[in-house]
Structure formats: structure tokens, C-alpha cells
Amino acid sequence: MSVSGAAVRVRGLRKGFGDGDVLDGVTLEVPDGEITLLMGPNGVGKTILLSCIAGGLHPDAGEINVFGVAPEEANRRLSFMLQDAMLVDELTGRENIAFFRDLHPRSTETPDDILERLAFDTGALEREVGDYSGGMKRKLELAIALSVDVPLYLLDEPTAALDMTTVERVHAMLAERRAAGETTLVSSHLPADADLADHIAVVTEEGISATGSPTELLETVPRVVLAEGSADITGAVREGRLFEGELRRRGFLREDTDPEAVTAAGQGAAVEVREPTYTDLFNYYVHLETPGDG
Amino acid sequence: MSSRSEFGQTGTEGSDGGLLGGGRWLRQTKAFALRNLRATLRTKATILWGFGFPAFWYFVTSLLFLPDAGDIGPGATIGEIKGATAVSLGLFGVLTVTLVAFASGLGEDLTAKRYRKLRSLPVAPSADFVGRYLAGVAVAAVSYVLVLLVGFVDGAEYALHGPGSVPVVTVSFLLFSLVGVSLAVLVTWLVEDSEIVVGITNAILLVSFFLTGYNGMNPELLPEETRQIVNIAPNSLASRLQTFHLTETPATTPTGAQTGGVTPPSFPVELEFVALLAVWAVAFGVVASVLMDQAVYRGEGGE
């Protein structure tokens, strides 16, 4: 993906921690004024990538530009939400907010408004954060990050541990910021977050396996074969790879396979071929289509 | 919402303290001070070890090791001896808070990867360090006064040595706290793991206490040729300075009732000794400031 108006440009980023590289040659461009989703499973380095872009970690090799300058020089123009590494348990929610408000010159007085929109009981702000649930901590971290008035937000899994109603509220808030021209780079392992994105970059252990708009990427994902019960669909799916779901197994239809023949071969068992969803997109680019596959 | 043109016009902005306005530096310093003060005061380990242990130690010492009033020679009273003991163990509490509790807090921030977030902010490393120092000073003052109060209730007597005693006591307390906090930064930088940091700083605390003859109060416990160290090492130097200025100089101490006293060597009464403590504080403070700037913020402390 090459973007003319990029808020963030990452070139050949390499970052390791002694036991090998977590990121090995990552290249990424984040379009200005849009929402880009870093989609990938846990442990592939999404947080490390966001931390490097935010200036919280320094690359071993490669180059990062944020609005044309190094991250350290752009720190007044970005706000970084870092999952599980911001809040101090011994402080109340209100005290944690006050701490971060005093550190950033572009802080505003809006965390309460944001928290109310996220269905957070603001009365709980007087309690110590150590008593909060995971979802409450996430909402507080998000409110702190979004209450800074900057043109770039870097959000590390803001919807993790949130219920779907709240996830949709988060999406609505980020969409409003996009409408105001602000840029958001958000990481997630939840396919539902793809609804939010203008661009998706799929991150795997091998690097970024695909980038594009959600529609563009969905068009590249093969149709999906789903089977219930004893039906054997191994021969009909790519690489013979099946993904177990709650009720059904699924795989990606082989290029040379007729969908009608697959469903007919079910012989009474429920076999279906349908268009891919974002969950399928995630599975396809994370588990089947690696950067080396071209 | 942000104005894009406003940010588009913005030139290069550094993250170092030099580009921060004084007002914003103060605001950040206050933020770190309040954060660490609150977190420290709500940590059970601080309450137990920073407040409870020095006071308890004083109580045990007074109960078991101090001589009876009748066994004390004509040069001192039991009240003076208790006063000197309270000052010594009060300074032990100060080092407990500034070294152990401070290192624990910083180590926890590093271990929890909180500096990934803090480094992304336009924070002045000096504001971080000074804020933590001020929090350490506040908690240490509580710990110190608590031991002095326990001593007072037990019959300890305090007396200012002269008009210059207040500034000397105040300055030497602040300097000694700076030594403790700076040493904490150094140890935390070397070790990083918050649990190991607590063990090492506790070891430093106890070893320094015993190697300096109970913070300089019992120099006769040391070999004669090394006794001068009690007027050089920062913990015993601070303790002897404070004892001299806060009590009637006791001719004897718990052990000294029989075997000698807090002298020789003579008390560090000259201003040169305050200057020596200042040299310790500045030396440690400079090292700690550089580490906070270069290792924690410009580097990747905690990784």
C-alpha cells in the first residue's frame, strides 16, 4: 500500500528483545484522516509496532515517520492507548485521569463525557482501579487516550474485553473523529473491528500479509466451505486446512473445485458454500496467505 | 477536535525538558509527585516497612537494649540517649522509604511496561525524577516524624543545638533523601525486576546500617582505624548531623553506656560536613538524573 497523504510511514522496521525479532522488516503506511486496523492474532507484535510508532520503543532498524518527523518529535501530535500498561491500581480512576491530563499539553476535560458514552459508571472513578474489571480498565484507558486533542490516535486493542454494544459505541466515536479529519491506527484481534476500518493491515508472525480496504481484501478471500456433522470436506478446501467453529468446521474452497459438487457430496450432512466474512478474512490472511506466498 | 492546520504548521518539537515551559514542567512534576505519593501511601508494604518497622525497631531497642536510667553515667540522661536512638532509627526509616519504597515504585513501572506509554508523551525526564523525589521526601518525613514521636512518647528528649540547627536539619534531611532516591534509580536501572529490586535495596539498607555502626551511633563497634567512616558515609553522616542538631549531644549510647559513646570520632559539627553530604547528594543526583534521561526515556528502560 502506497499512500500519498500518509500520517505514518514505516519502512523496514525491525525490533527484537534478545530472544529474536518480534518485528522483522515491517513496512506500513497509515493514510491521513482515516482509520487503519492492524488485524492479527495475539503475540505477533501489534503492540510493539504501535509502541514504536508512538515513540515508546525504539526500532533496531528501519525508519518511522509520523507527520514527516521521528516519533519522538511528534509526541505532542499523537495520543497512545497502551492496553494494561497505563493505569496504576492503587490510584482511583479520577487520579489516573488527572495524572495523564497533566502530562500532555493537548489534554482536554472530556474523559467523563467519553466514559458516559461508553456506559461507564462515572461514580466508579472514585474507586481504586485495582477493583475494576478488565472492561472498566479498557474504557478508562480509552477515555484517557481520546481525551487528548491530537490529529493521530494509536489505540492498542481498545475493544478487547468489551461487550458488543460498547464495541459499537467505540466504533461510533472513532468514526466521528474520522469525520473531523483525525487519523486512527488501531490494533485488534476481533474481526468485528473490521467494520470500523477504512484500511486493514493483517499482521502475522511473518510480517504484514495483506493491506487494503475491507472490501478489497474480502474480494481476494476464497469462498468458504462449511460443514456440520460427519461430512468430510478436507479435499475441497485449500491446503486441507479446516478451522473449527462452535458448530461447524470451515475451510477455503479450492480454486479448481465446483461449489455445487461440494454441497452435493455432503450426502445428507449439512455442507454449505458461502461468501467469506471478516472472520474468514482473518483466518485466511493469518493462517494461509503469508507474505512469502506473494 | 484538533485543528489540522494548526498541527500542520507545527515545527519540530523536542521531548526534552529544555523545550518545556516552566509552568508545564511544574505541572508534570506535580503529576508525578502526587501519583507516587498516593500510590506509595496506599501500598501495604510501605506502611509496614516504611512506617511500622522503624517505629517498632525503636520500641524494641528502647525496651530491650537501652540501659536503665540508673546505669547511665553523669554525662548523659536516658532521655538524651532515647532521643539519639530515635534520630538514628528515624533516619533508617528515611532511607527505607527513599531507597526501598522508591525503587519498588520505579521498578514496578518498568516491569509493567508503563514507560512505553510515558515515553510516548512529551514528558521531561527531570519532572519525572523530581516528582518522585518530592513524593519520597514527603513520605520519608512522615516516617521520620513518626519515629521521633514514638520516641517522645517513650521519654526521648530533643533540643535544637542552636539557631543554625533548623536549616542544617532540614537541608541534611533533603540531601540524604536525594541520596536514597538516587541510589534507588541506580539499583533499579541495574536490576529492573521490581521484586529483585526490593531485595537488593533492603540488603543495601541493612548492610549500610550495620557497617556504619548503627548509622554512626555506635562507632566503637567498628575497627578503630575505620571509625572515621561514620563521618563520611552518607547514612551515618546524616544521622550524626541530625543527632547533633536535634538532641543534647549524648555522652553515651546504648552500647556506649558501658564502653564508650558516639565519639570518637568527634561529631561532624562543621559546615564542611554538610557540604560533604551535599557532594554525596549531588553526585548521586546527577547520576540518577542522567540515568532517567538517557536510560529510561531516551533508552528503553524496562525492556
Using DSSP, how many helices (H) and how many strands (E) does chain A show?
8, 13
pLDDT in tens, B169-190: 999 999 999 999 999 999 999 9
CA A122 to each of CA A59, A94, A142, B11: distance values in angstroms, whole numbers, following the listed order: 38, 9, 14, 38
Mutation target for A interface from B114, B118, B121: give the one with most A CBs within 10 A: B121
Indicate the pLDDT class of residue B12, thresholds 50, 70 and 90: very low
Chain A residues whose CB is inside 8 A of the B123 CB are 103
Q: Which of A111-115, B8-12, B75-79 has the lowest mean pLDDT?
A: B8-12
* Residue pair A146/A169 in contact by the 8 Å Cβ criterion: no
Single out the residue of B141, B147, B154, B128 nearest to residue B288, CA to CA. B128
A230 or B39, which is more confident = B39
Mutation target for A interface from B1, B26, B120, B300: give the one with most A CBs within 10 A: B120
Mutation target for B interface from A102, A113, A146, A185: give the one with most B CBs within 10 A: A102
Backbone φ, ψ for residue B228 (5° rounding): -60, -20
pLDDT in tens, B100-155: 888 989 999 999 999 999 999 999 999 999 999 999 999 999 999 999 999 999 99
Kindly give, in sequence order, each residue whose CB lies less than 8 Å from that of residue B153, ignoring residues fewer than 6 positions away.
none
Contact A77 B7 (CB under 8 A): yes
Calpha distance B90→B83 (Å, rounded): 10
Q: Which of A89-93, A184-188, B39-43, B258-262 has the lowest mean pLDDT?
A: B258-262
Shortest Cα distance, chain A CAs vs residue B196, angstroms:
20
Shortest Cα distance, chain B CAs vs residue A96, angstroms:
8
Contact B122 A128 (CB under 8 A): no
Indicate the pLDDT class of residue A20, thresholds 50, 70 and 90: confident
Which chain A residue is nearest to residue B44, measuring alpha carbons?
A90
* Residue pair B13/B19 in contact by the 8 Å Cβ criterion: yes
CA B279 to each of CA A5, B108, B116, B265, B300: distance values in angstroms, whole numbers, following the listed order: 54, 29, 33, 21, 29
Task: Give me A206's grid cell.
Answer: 511473518
Above 50 in pLDDT, residue A66?
A: yes
Whole-number pLDDT of residue B5: 34
Above 90 in pLDDT, residue A180?
A: yes
Give the amino acid at A272: E
Angle at A284 between CA A278 and CA A285, to 5 degrees: 95
Indicate the pLDDT class of residue B75, thresholds 50, 70 and 90: low
CB-CB neighbours of B8 under 10 Å? 11
Contact B42 A90 (CB under 8 A): yes
* Residue pair A288/A272 in contact by the 8 Å Cβ criterion: no
CB proximity B114 to A under 8 Å: yes
Calpha distance A189→A41 (Å, rounded): 5
Above 90 in pLDDT, residue A74?
A: yes
DSSP A161: T
pLDDT in tens, A137-178: 999 999 999 999 999 999 999 999 899 999 999 999 999 999
pLDDT in tens, A90-139: 999 999 999 999 999 999 988 899 999 999 999 999 999 999 999 999 99
Query: What ipTM goes with this model?
Result: 0.89
Please name the member of B1, B24, B299 whose beta carbon is closest to the beta carbon of A149: B1
Chain B residues whose CB is inside 8 A of the A5 CB are none
Indicate the pLDDT class of residue B17, thresholds 50, 70 and 90: very low
- Give me the residue label for grid cell 493483517: A202
Shortest Cα distance, chain A CAs vs residue B112, angstroms:
6
Task: Give me A3's grid cell.
Answer: 499512500
Contact A104 B1 (CB under 8 A): no
Whole-number pLDDT of residue B255: 46
Indicate the pLDDT class of residue A78, thresholds 50, 70 and 90: very high
Shortest Cα distance, chain B CAs vs residue A270, angstroms:
49
Calpha distance A130→A80 (Å, rounded): 21
Above 50 in pLDDT, residue B13?
A: no
Contact A57 B28 (CB under 8 A): no
Calpha distance A284→A63 (Å, rounded): 29
Shortest Cα distance, chain B CAs vs residue A202, angstroms:
23
Indicate the pLDDT class of residue A3, thresholds 50, 70 and 90: low
Secondary structure of B92-152 in HEC code, one letter for each residue: HHHHHHHHHHHHHHHHHHHHCCHHHHHCCCCCCHHHHHHHHHHHHHHHHHHHHHHHHHHHH
Beta bridge partner(s), residue A252:
A224
Which chain A residue is nearest to residue B4, measuring alpha carbons?
A151
Burial class for A264, CB neighbours closer than 10 Å (0-12, 13-18, 19+)? exposed
* Residue pair B216/B235 in contact by the 8 Å Cβ criterion: yes
CB proximity B102 to A under 8 Å: no
pTM for this one? 0.87
Calpha distance B138→A27 (Å, rounded): 48
Please name the member of A90, A98, A151 whose beta carbon is closest to the beta carbon of B7: A151
Determine the 3-state secondary structure of A69 from DSSP.
strand
Query: What angle, rounded to 10 degrees, do the helices at B125-153 and B165-191 form?
Result: 120
What b-and-e string marks burial along B108-130, b requiring 16 or more CB atoms within 10 Å of the CB? bbbbbbbbbbbbbbbbbbbbbbb
B220 or A119, which is more confident = A119
Indicate the pLDDT class of residue B217, thresholds 50, 70 and 90: confident
Please name the member of B13, B27, B30 whose beta carbon is closest to the beta carbon of A73: B13
Beta bridge partner(s), residue A260:
none
- Averaged pLDDT, A66-84: 96
Indicate the pLDDT class of residue B16, thresholds 50, 70 and 90: very low
- Give me the residue label for grid cell 559539627: B269
Contact A51 B120 (CB under 8 A): yes
